[in-house]
Amino acid sequence: MPPASSSGPPPAPPPGGPPKAIATPCIKVCVVDGESGLCMGCYRQLSEVAGWARLSDDERAAIMADLPTRRSRIRPEKLAMFG
């Protein structure tokens, strides 16, 4: 008796292909400023970092549009540590 073989078709790829990439301001400098509560790399609050993948594209875009103004909430001498 010949050995059993799997001669069926290969498994189908998942429907819809790979997930869409999520835009993020993360620069891999994850240090939280105790005074402002903001990440000193991307200027997001910890709650925003933690929930980023669950936010809608519009919610993420609104936060990202606000990030440049948040930098002023961190003392310059602290930011100088990161160049």
What is the pLDDT at residue 21? Answer: 86
Confidence check: pLDDT of 33 > 80:
yes
What is the pLDDT at residue 17? Answer: 78
Average pLDDT over the chain reads: 87
> Is this structure's pTM higher than 0.85?
no
Confidence check: pLDDT of 83 > 80:
no
What is the Cα–Cα distance from 75 to 22, expressed in whole angstroms? 30
Query: What is the length of the chain?
Result: 83
Tokens standing for residue 35: 């005074």
DSSP classification of residue 53: G
